[in-house]
Amino acid sequence: MTERTLRLWHRRLGMVLFVFLLVQAGSGLALSLRHALGGPPAGEGVHRLAAAAADLHHGGGEAGDLGRVLLAAGILVQAGLGAGIGAKARGRRRPSLRL
């Protein structure tokens, strides 16, 4: 694949994954902060917002599980595309002059 093609797919996939990654990271951060600050675990008399964050992060049944698997796979593909772009960019560099 050419570097241009790698960059194109990296950008397209990144735009799609961005929203889902933001939701997972944001809800996970909210749950972690709640736990770190001594709040009750999700489901034990929690505020509606905390319950919504828990449902968003862990819920969704089989569809939610599939979504999280696809998100993880997409992140791995992004890492591979990024590594390919980096390898192509390193290949363009001129060798340094040795004295």
Say how many C-beta atoms besides its own lie within 10 A of residue 68's C-beta. Answer: 15
Confidence check: pLDDT of 96 > 70: no
Say how many C-beta atoms besides its own lie within 10 A of residue 77's C-beta. Answer: 14
pTM of the model: 0.70
43 φψ region: left (φ > 0), alpha (ψ -120 to 50), beta (else): left
Taking the C-alpha atoms of residue 31 and residue 50, their distance in angstroms, rounded to an integer, is 7
Query: Quick one: what percent of the chain has pLDDT higher than 90?
Result: 38
pLDDT digits (tens, 9 = 90+) for 46-73: 677 777 888 888 888 888 889 899 999 9
Q: Measured in whole angstroms, how far is the alpha carbon of residue 14 from the centre of its chain?
A: 9
Domain spans of the chain, in order of start: 3-92
Whole-number pLDDT of residue 79 = 94
- Cα–Cα distances in angstroms (integers) from residue 97 to residues 40, 59, 87, 93, 94, in the given order: 61, 57, 21, 12, 9
pLDDT band at 77 (very low <50, low <70, confident <90, very high): very high
